[in-house]
Structure formats: C-alpha cells, structure tokens
C-alpha cells in the first residue's frame, strides 16, 4: 500500500510501516499527550519525546451512541481503551454496535478505515479498535 495516496486522519496516527499511534511523552514524569502542550500538565516540565503506543489493549469503557450531533453517523461505539497503560479514545469498529458484541474488558487491537477521498484522490485513513 502506498503512502502517496493516503494520509492519517489525525497527526498522532502513523500509517507506516504498520499503523500505530504516537504520543508526546514528558521526559520528566512519563505523562503522554496526543496533542501539543506548552508544559506537562502533570509536572510542568517542558521537554517531550515521541513514543509509540501499543496497538493492542483492553476495553475499559464504552457507550453505544445512537443519538448524536448532525452529520455524525450513528450508531457507533465510543470507547476508552487501555493500551499498555496509556488510555486511548477511539471507536470500536468491525464489530456490531450492540451490548451483545461489545463488553467491558474485551481485548481489542488497532485497525484502520478509510474515511474519505479528496479532490486530489488522497484518502484520509482513520483508526479504530476491533475485537482481537
């Protein structure tokens, strides 16, 4: 698969060589952030280094959202996943959105999905987590 025609949906998603998330880790206390910070919210230090986040994890919380803002496709499963000690927010994908198929504590792994193609033919690729 070529990266020339694909871009990640968010900057903290890296598609190559295998899709994974990258956080900015505080070099002082180890706190991890998916967005840019002026200082660490936990310890106020100002140096960060990029770290790869585990692509497998455990479902710690979820909601099956059936009523959302205009433009948001429903239903979808919103979730918090514990990826080796780092909490990640994502949708649960490749899985029926019902309480029979989604359960607390279930093992999940990162997966990608194309959300759209722009006028230049570039695909935006998002991440989610699927049952492992």
Partner 1 sequence: MSRSDDIWILGIHMTKFGKHPNLDVVDLGAQAIQGALADAGVTMADIGILAAGNLLGSGSIAQQLQKQVGQTGIPAYNVSNACATGATALRTAIMAVKAGEVDMGLAVGVEKLAGAGLLGAGGRAKADESEWARNGRFGAVGPVDGRIGTESMPGVFAQIGMEYGHKYGGTSFELFAKISEKNHGHSTLNPLAAYNKAMSLDQIMNDVMIAYPNTRPMCSANCDGAAAAVVVNGEKLKTLSLEQQRRAVKVSASILTSDPWQEACQVLPDVNTLTRNAANQAYEQAGVGPNDLDLVELHDCFATAELVHYDNLMLCEEGGAVDFFESGAPYRDGRLPVNVSGGLQSKGHPISATGIANIWEVCQHVRGEAGDRQIEGAKVGLAHVIGLASACGIHILERSAA
Residue 100's binding partner, choosing from partner 1, Zn ion, none, with beta-carbon cut-off 5 to 8 A by kind? none
With binding defined as CB under 8 A, does residue 111 bind partner 1?
no
Q: Is 132 helix (H, G, I), strand (E, B) or coil?
A: coil
DSSP secondary structure, 34-58, as one string: SS--SS-TTT----EEEEEEPSEEE
Do 108 and 57 form a contact (C-beta atoms < 8 A)?
yes
Do 32 and 51 form a contact (C-beta atoms < 8 A)?
yes
- Give the one residue of 2, 17, 70, 100 binding partner 1; rule: CB under 8 A: 70
Residue 54's binding partner, choosing from Zn ion, partner 1, none, with beta-carbon cut-off 5 to 8 A by kind? none
With binding defined as CB under 8 A, does residue 31 bind partner 1?
yes
Do 102 and 92 form a contact (C-beta atoms < 8 A)?
yes
With binding defined as CB under 8 A, does residue 17 bind partner 1?
no
Judged by the rule CB under 8 A, the positions of this chain that interact with partner 1 are 7, 9-12, 31-36, 41-42, 59-74, 76, 78-80, 85-91, 99, 104-105, 115-116, 118-120, 122, 124, 126-127
């Amino acid at each position: 698969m070529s990266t020339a025609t694909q871009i990640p949906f968010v900057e903290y998603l890296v598609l190559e060589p295998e899709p994974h998330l990258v956080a900015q880790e505080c070099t002082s206390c180890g706190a991890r952030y998916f967005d840019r910070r002026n200082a660490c919210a936990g310890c106020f230090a100002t140096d960060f280094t990029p770290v790869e986040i585990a692509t497998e994890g455990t479902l710690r919380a979820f909601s099956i959202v059936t009523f959302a803002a205009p433009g948001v496709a429903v239903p979808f499963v919103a979730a918090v996943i514990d990826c080796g000690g780092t909490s990640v927010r994502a949708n649960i994908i490749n899985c029926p959105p019902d309480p029979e198929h989604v359960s607390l504590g279930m093992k999940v792994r990162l997966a990608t999905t194309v959300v759209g193609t722009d006028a230049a033919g570039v695909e935006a690729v998002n991440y989610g987590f699927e049952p492992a």
